[in-house]
Chains A and B, each alone.
Chain A
Amino acid sequence: MAILEVLTIPDPRLKQESQPVERFDSSLRDFIHDLEQTMRSSPGGVGIAAPQVARFERIIIVDVSRKPKIQSHGRLVLINPEILEWQGMEKGREGCMSVPDYTGNVIRAKTIKINAYDESGQMRSYDCEGYEARAIQHEVDHLDGVLFLDRLVSRRTDLFQRKVYSEKSVAKSD
C-alpha cells in the first residue's frame, strides 16, 4: 500500500496521451489499490487518473459517494473507458490535484453513457449524471493529456454563447 506522488503543472507529462491497458493481472490490481489510496489522501478528492501519478495507462477511479445528496455508482474503477453518449451541458467548478491552488469553471455534459472494463477485465456500462458525470469527464480528459485548464470558461459565462452559423455551414448540413 502506498500513496503515490502526484504530478503537478507545469510537468509536461500531464499533456501526454495514455495507452490502453492490455493485461488485467495482479500488478494492475496492486496499482489500482495505490491509485485509490492516493485519491483518498487528497482533501476533497473524488477522482484520479493513472497519468496523474506518471503511469500512462487508461485507468481512472471515481468515487463521489462521500458527497451527500448526490446520485452515484459509488466506487468506480474504469479501465479503457469510452464515453459513448453525451447529453446536455452544465457549467461547474473544477479543481485538480495536479493543479494546486486554482479552481475554475468548465462546461461538461450533464449525462453520459460510458463503457469501461473493471479491475477483473469485465466490460461494464454505466449511465452517469451530474456531479459523477462531471468527475468522469474530468478524469477521462487526463487520459488524453487534457487538463481542466484547457477547457476553462470565464467567470462571466453563465449562459452559453449563442452559436452563429454561417450560411455556408448551414448549406453544408443540408
Chain B
Amino acid sequence: MTNNWHMLTVVGKDKPGIVASISEALFAAGCNFGEASMSRLGGNFTIMLMVQYEGGTERLEKIIAPIAQTLNLRCHINAIEGQLHAHREPDVRISVYGQDRTGIVAHVTGTLARAGLDIYDLESDVGGSGENPVYIMHIEGHAMRGVDALKEALETEKTPGIETHLEEIDTIIG
C-alpha cells in the first residue's frame, strides 16, 4: 500500500442522495477522493471510489459502517496501490449490439482478446423491451497488435444477429 489509498466499493438499492451521504461523511473524516466510477446497474447503486485515508482500513470501515447501515448498502474496502496520473489512452472503440442472449460478452471479448485487445473500459446495457431485450456494449481499449487484427477477428468470428462496429480513436492534442 502506498499513499494510503483504498478502493471503496458500495452496492445497494438505489435511492437519491447516496453519493452525497458517503462523500460528506468521508470528507468530514479527512478523506481525499481519487478517481471514481458510479453507475446504476439494474436498479442498483454501484460505485468504486478511490479514497485516500491515513487512519488505515479498519478505521475507514468504521467511518462508513453507520452510513451503510442507514442507507442499507453493502461496502467493501481494499487497500490498494494509488495510481493517479497514470491514464492510458485507448486507441480503439468497439460497440456491439444484438438480441440479448447468453454468451455475447464471452464470444466478443474472447475474440478480441485473442486478437490483442487490452480493455480499458467496458459498459453495457440491456435495452429494448421485456419480450425483445437488446444487449448493447461499448468497449474502449488498446489494440496491442494493431486495429486491423481486431477488425479481421471480428469479421471472421461474425455471429448472426450481433452487430459489431469498430472505430479507431484518434485523439487530437491541441
* A residues whose Cβ falls under 8 Å from a Cβ of B: 42-49, 62, 67, 92-97, 101-103, 131, 134-135, 138-139, 142, 155-156, 158
A43 vs B87: C-alpha distance when bound (angstroms): 16
Smallest distance from the beta carbon of B127 to chain A beta carbons, Å?
Answer: 12
22 pairs of residues in contact across A and B, judged by CB atoms under 8 Å: A44-B171, A45-B173, A45-B174, A46-B173, A47-B174, A62-B174, A92-B170, A93-B170, A93-B171, A95-B172, A95-B174, A97-B173, A97-B174, A101-B87, A103-B87, A103-B89, A103-B171, A134-B172, A135-B172, A139-B174, A155-B138, A156-B138
Smallest distance from the beta carbon of A170 to chain B beta carbons, Å?
Answer: 28
- Is B113 in the interface zone, CB < 8 Å from A? no
Across the interface, do B87 and A102 meet the contact criterion of CB distance under 8 Å?
A: yes
The 7 tightest CB contacts between A and B, nearest first, are A47-B174, A138-B174, A93-B171, A44-B173, A95-B173, A94-B172, A101-B85
Which chain A residue lies CB-closest to B95?
A: A158
Smallest distance from the beta carbon of A155 to chain B beta carbons, Å?
Answer: 7
Across the interface, do B87 and A93 meet the contact criterion of CB distance under 8 Å?
A: no
- Is B123 in the interface zone, CB < 8 Å from A? yes
- Is B121 in the interface zone, CB < 8 Å from A? yes
Q: Hey, which chain B residues are within 8 Å of A62, CB to CB?
A: 174
* B residues whose Cβ falls under 8 Å from a Cβ of A: 85, 87, 89, 95, 121, 123, 138, 140, 169-174
A103 vs B140: C-alpha distance when bound (angstroms): 13
Find A47's partner among B87, B140, B172 (CB 8 Å cutoff).
Answer: B172
Smallest distance from the beta carbon of A165 to chain B beta carbons, Å?
Answer: 24
Q: Hey, which chain A residues are within 8 Å of B171, CB to CB?
A: 44, 93-95, 103
Q: Hey, which chain B residues are within 8 Å of A94, CB to CB?
A: 171-174
Q: Hey, which chain A residues are within 8 Å of B85, CB to CB?
A: 101
Smallest distance from the beta carbon of B92 to chain A beta carbons, Å?
Answer: 11
Smallest distance from the beta carbon of A142 to chain B beta carbons, Å?
Answer: 8
Q: Hey, which chain A residues are within 8 Å of B169, CB to CB?
A: 93
A43 vs B143: C-alpha distance when bound (angstroms): 20
Find A48's partner among B89, B121, B170, B174 (CB 8 Å cutoff).
Answer: B174
Across the interface, do B121 and A155 meet the contact criterion of CB distance under 8 Å?
A: yes
Of listed B85, B169, B170, B173, residue having the most chain A CB within 10 A: B173
**CB-CB under 8 A for A135 and B95, given A93-B169, A101-B85, A156-B123:** no
Q: A67-B170, A95-B171 are in contact. List 5 more A-B contacts (CB 8 A).
A: A42-B173, A45-B173, A47-B172, A62-B174, A93-B169
A39 vs B123: C-alpha distance when bound (angstroms): 35
Q: Hey, which chain B residues are within 8 Å of A155, CB to CB?
A: 121, 123, 138, 140
Q: Hey, which chain B residues are within 8 Å of A42, CB to CB?
A: 173
Q: Hey, which chain B residues are within 8 Å of A131, CB to CB?
A: 170, 172
Which chain A residue lies CB-closest to B85?
A: A101
